[in-house]
Structures are given as C-alpha cells and as structure tokens.
Structure 1
Amino acid sequence: KSQCPATCGACNGQKPSPTPSPPPPPPPPPVASCSEPTTKFTVTMGGADYSGTCTGFANNNGCKYTKIQNACPVTCGICSPSQSSDCYDDPNYSIYVKSLSASLTCNDWKMYQCWDEVKSHCPVSCSMCGR
C-alpha cells in the first residue's frame, strides 16, 4: 500500500489524473489534380521570379517549397491516386521520338525514362502515381 497508494485505494481524496495526449497533427491538404505544366513556367518566391520546368525545379531542390509542390505534384511525388482521380494514362496520347523514329504511347514508355511532357499524360506508365 505504501508503494502504490493510488492503485490500492489508499490515497487521501483525489486520484492523479492522466496527462492528456497532444492532438494528432492535421492531415496534409489534398492534391487537387495529378497534372502539372509540361513546359517552362514562372513562379514568384521571396520577391524573385524563377522560370523552369517541374523537373528542373525538382533537380534543384525546388520540391521543398510549397509553391513548387503545388505546381508540380507529380514530379515532387505528392500526387497519389487516393488524393486524385486524375491519376490515369491518357489512352489517346502518343509522342514522336526522333531518335527511335517512332511514336510512343503511354504503354511504350514503361520501358523508358519518361520526359516531363510524358509524365503529365502517362502518370501510371511513368510510375508517378502514389509516390
């Protein structure tokens, strides 16, 4: 009883109250779309304008900035099928690749490193969904 008075009911009056646990962190905001610009675009951050492609921004650690994440959710890996119903390959998309002398569909790109433009049309084939 002297070692554990609260457990044994030997306390005078009040029992200690448990410390409340902190609330869970809020969930991340949902991504509106699993698409992004396929060409160069300009974003203003810290009063300066930066111009580039999603891949260019990502290669220079741009994905740590919210503005770049919002503009480039696929490249920055924050787009997922559970957050967007837009994560599917365009069945009508094909692009001519001069070095292969052929037009490639989304399914063909599964064997290649996807270009920026291809990623936005073929996120499933380019393994961009759920990243």
Structure 2
Amino acid sequence: MKKIINSIRQPITRKNHDNISIKHEQLLSELGLTVYDWAEDFFSTKNLNKALKYSNVFDNYIGNFTQYNGVGGDITKLSVKNKIKIYCKYKGYEFNPAEHVNVNSDLIIKYDPDTKTSVEYIFIKKYR
C-alpha cells in the first residue's frame, strides 16, 4: 500500500509524460494543459504549504483565463476549485488537509477583522 501511495505522490513532468498511468492521463485530460501550466506557475514552492486567500487565487486564475469565460461553460469559483483539486490529485498534493479545515467542514474559513467578514482560504500541502 505504501508503494502505491508513493507512486501516486510522485510528481509528473512533461519529460516523463509517456510513462504515466492511465489515471494520471485521465486527470491531465480533465485538467487541460493550459490550466496545468497556470497551476504549475501559481502553485510553485512559494504558494505551497500555506493558507492562501481563495479570492486571490480565483482572481489570478480569472486574470489568466478571461478569454475562455463562456467557452465551454462559465468560469465559477466552484469550477476553479475543482480544477485545483484535480491538479492536487495529479501532483500528489493534498487539498485542504484535515489539520487546517474548520470543524465538521472541508473548508478553511477565517475571520477578517479589516472587512469584518468571513473569508475562505485554501491550503495545498506538498509532501516532502
């Protein structure tokens, strides 16, 4: 079982793309190479293993994909979050690990004293 988990967590690059499993092919197909390239850039080491305000992540995504809005469906916060979850599965990362989410939820919600509102965060955990 440990060997299987380690193989799932092994990063996939374009160099070893021909050797990946069918499951990884399916994930890449769902994700799309354009979104994969965005995620590789955005979730470089500077945005891994820390809480990120989801509105900032979404705004960055929208800034890169505005030309696609309405093509094959509108870009929504849920659709972007689903793409990020697929990216995490593909890379072997964990999306919103249990130790960071709110009780009885799969979300990370924090109170922002400046705006006096609740703000959603995401956390992408990279195993070392």
TMscore range, shorter length: under 0.3
- Structure number with the higher helix fraction is 2
TM-score, length basis structure 1: 0.26
TM-score, length basis structure 2: 0.27
